[in-house]
Structure 1
Amino acid sequence: MRTRMTWLAALALTCAGMVMASGDSPPQAQPTDAKAEPAATPAPATAPASASAPAAAPVSNPKEAAIREQVQAFAKAFNVHDVEALTELLTADAVVVEPSGSETRGQSDIGMMYAEELENVPGVKLECTIESIRFLTADVARVEGMSRLSSGTGDANEFTRFSVLTILQEGKWRLAEIREYAAPGGDITPYERLKELEWMVGDWVDESGDNKVSSSIRWADNKSFLIRTYSIEIQGEKASSGTMFIGWDPQTTQIKSWVFSSEGGHGEGLWTRTAENQWIVKAQGTRHDGQPNSATQIHTILNKDVVKSSSIDRIIGGQLAPDIADVVMVRKPALPHARLEPQPAATGKPEK
């Protein structure tokens, strides 16, 4: 009976999405007797950044608005791999200076540089956030901000600071110089690091026969962490619950999770996005009785509301455990706002 309960609990937690190995008793989501705790429902590889700069406060200065529009146009052209449109935004003698210090000059050479980069990294996306625009003269302005470059497979995000010199030529603002600098780690907010997981915020559920896993994910204050709480029911009885924190670990420079179960087990896992719609989590933990356990979780995003998860290479207390394959977790639809119908006023007259 205990073995069956443990297996059901492990299966249930796998349904919960990213299951992190935590070491705990049966009701945990992974290892049959050593659990791999449920990690938050997988974050569907959100499409990397948007093509344009994030929305900013209304701009009253028409010149500033025009400059912002050009930066957005540059990012948009880059993201659709339109090198011709991209180079048309530059001055004839424009220069691009990379963080390494290497320079590329002239529209033609810059166009070839970007064409090669876009060919070598299919699907690469650029997002630019403008932080300031400073006018040096009426026709020259310096734009500074932060950019985020994400690969087509979603396995890497590169943050850089940029400084762009724009010049008004024949009534149109053009980019004359683009300089990029390595962004200090402190300049990148936790939210920027975790933004690709934002879609997972909400309520999730899996009901497999007599088992039910409920999960709720929300942002912590300042969007510094994602917090996931979960509850597992087996044959109508509550079997386990727990809390997970998902955040950016500056020491490992990777997204990491820390999970704590109601039985006293705990665990952690490192997340890697290996494709546009897939995450892999290397999880390990300790059960409440001290036994170590580990597993590899594979989470495939079928669509924004459905995630399929598998748990492989499961080791519990030094023993290899069977894989758990293709468990599905779905997003719960938002509850409609209840409409309060006006009640007829009491007349004090008896009903007939």
Structure 2
Amino acid sequence: MNTPIKAFLAVALLTSSIKAEEDTPSISALAEAASQFVIAYNEKDASAIAQLFTEDGEMSDLTGQDLTSGREAIKARYEALFSNENSPGIAIEVDSVRLVAPNLAIEDGTAHITPLEEGAPPRSIKYTATLLKNDSGVWEIASTRDLSDVTDAEGELFALSKVLNGDWTCQVGDVRFDLAIQWEDTGKFLVGEMLTTAPDSEPQTGSIRIGWNAARKSITSWMFDSLGGSMQNFWTATDEGWLIRTEGTTAEGEAVTSSQTLVPENDDILVWSVTNKIIDGVKQPDTKIRLVRRPPEPAND
């Protein structure tokens, strides 16, 4: 998990409004810890935040493989986070605070993270945190762990957007293909426009809408071309990228099916492969194209 998300989860309990079945001195002390963090975070004071942890406090992901232990290491993580002037905002929903012992509290909740990057939608992360009361009666963070990404799209649509957002182009012989993808205003769908041009034919346009299918628990997309054809695509995340199963019809009513893969070669190159494409019962040649990210247009003076 990347540094900003882990850093936010590490402080989730401190930025929240504490809820419990009844108010007690211990719960009030936990609430006081929250105000201390708010001051430190607003001042981007990594040292002050690190002091809110126990000496050997730790931040961990679900698998435990990405672990940050000790105040100095935690301080370094927050220094890296605060070095970005666009550090995201956060809101917290606390599901429960349990005092399992006089000096031990466990908190469970959801962190809602709002990136400042243009077009980036909020994310929601389930977390759990353990706090210990030290000999001076001050509550300190002993450990935090993120449990799951519970963003509307289960995090998968967000992950795809990080790869696919932007303007892309591909040239194969005399044929040029352009693709532009961005978030829709609602933040629920990725939307895009396609343009295919060739010297000996009229330009062909198309549109694409990509969303989260809650019933299938997967990404689904719909494509429509200017000739009247339409396709529905079902996405499955793989270790390398995405496997896409396609079915639809051409403008003439011919049935179309295919298997596709979308694999990022790096941040600026996508490899899009189409295999087993069948149109009206006839298998088509396999194809592979490399989409290259187009640089931003120069700003007008």
Question: TM-score band, normalised by the shorter chain?
Answer: 0.5 to 0.7
In the alignment, which of 156, 160, 166 is matched to residue 131 of structure 2?
Answer: 166
Q: 2:294 aligns with which of 312, 332, 346?
A: 332
1:130-209, aligned counterparts within 5 Å? 131-132=92-93, 143-146=107-110, 161-170=126-135, 173-175=140-142, 188-190=151-153, 192-199=155-162, 200-209=164-173
Match of 2:268 among 292, 302, 305: 305
C-alpha spacing 1:261/1:50, structure 2 compared with 1 (3 Å): same
Q: Using the TM superposition, give the Cα deviation of residue 322 of structure 1 relative to its aligned residue in structure 2, in angstroms.
A: 1.6
Structure-2 separation of matches of 1:196 and 1:258:
18
- Aligned residue type for 1:52: A
| 1:43-54 aligned within 5 A | 50-53=5-8
Counterpart of 1:194, as a letter, is L
Q: Which TM-score applies when normalising by structure 2?
A: 0.63
1:243 to 198, 207, 220: 207
Question: What's the RMSD between the two structures over aligned residues?
Answer: 4.4
Aligned pairs for 1:119-134 (under 5 A) are 131-132=92-93
Instruction: Give 1:75 deviation, angstroms.
Output: 3.0
Give the equivalent residue in structure 2 for 1:74: 59
Question: Is this contact kept in 2: 1:52–1:76, CA < 8 A?
Answer: no
Alignment match, 2:80: none
1:319: how far off?
1.6
C-alpha separation in 2, matches of 1:48 and 1:143: 21
CA distance in structure 1 between the aligned counterparts of 2:3 and 2:260, rounded to whole angstroms: 22
Contact 2:93/2:110 (<8 A) preserved: no
- 322 and 237 in structure 1: CA distance in 2 versus 1, 3 angstrom threshold: closer
Return 5+ residue gaps in structure 2 as ranges: 16-33, 41-48, 71-89, 113-123
TM-superposed CA distance for 1:216, in Å, is 1.0
The 8 Å contact of residues 111 and 126 in structure 2, kept in 1 or not, is answered as yes
1:69, distance to aligned residue in structure 2 (A): 6.9
Q: TM-score, normalised by structure 1?
A: 0.55
Please show how residues 188-267 of structure 1 align to structure 2 within 5 Å.
Answer: 188-190=151-153, 192-199=155-162, 200-235=164-199, 237-267=201-231
Give the partner amino acid of 2:140: W
Kept in 2, the 8 Å contact 1:284–1:295? The answer is yes
CA-to-partner distance for each residue in 1:235-254, whole Å, 9 max, x for gaps?
Answer: 26433111111000011110
Q: Write out aligned runs for 1:18-29 (5 A).
A: none
1:294 match: 257
- Counterpart of 2:236? 272
Q: CA separation of 1:48/1:268 partners in 2, compared to 1, >3 Å: closer, same or farther?
A: farther
1:91-106 mapped onto 2 (5 Å cutoff): none
Q: Equivalents in 1 of 2:247, 2:206: separation in Å?
A: 16
Report the 3-state secondary structure (helix = DSSP H, G, I; strand = E; otherwise coil) of the residue aligned with 2:60: helix
Distance change (3 Å), C-alpha of 1:161 and 1:296: same
Percentage of identical aligned residues: 20
Code of the residue aligned with 2:169 in structure 1: it is: V
| Structure 2 counterpart of 1:293, one-letter code | V
Q: Find the partner of 2:284 among 321, 326, 332.
A: 321
Deviation, 1:222, is 2.5
2:242–2:262 contact (8 Å) kept in structure 1: yes
Pick the aligned partner of 2:36 from 59, 62, 75.
62
- Give the Å deviation of 1:321: 1.7
CA distance in 1, matches of 2:146, 2:204: 53
Cα distance between partner residues in 2 of 1:295 and 1:227 = 22
CA change 1:77–1:317 in 2 (3 A) is closer
Task: Evaluate the alpha carbon distance shift between residue 320 and residue 175 of structure 1 in structure 2; reply closer, same or farther with a 3 A threshold.
Answer: same
Task: Report the CA distance between 1:81 and its aligned residue.
Answer: 3.9
- Report the number of matched residues: 236
1:239 aligns to what SS in structure 2? strand
Q: For the pair shown, which has the larger CA radius of gyration, 1 or 2?
A: 1
Per chain length, whose mean CA-contact separation is higher, i.e. which structure has more relative contact order (CA < 8 Å, sep 6+)?
A: 1
In structure 2, relative to structure 1, the CA distance for the partners of 1:251 and 1:135 (3 Å cut) is closer
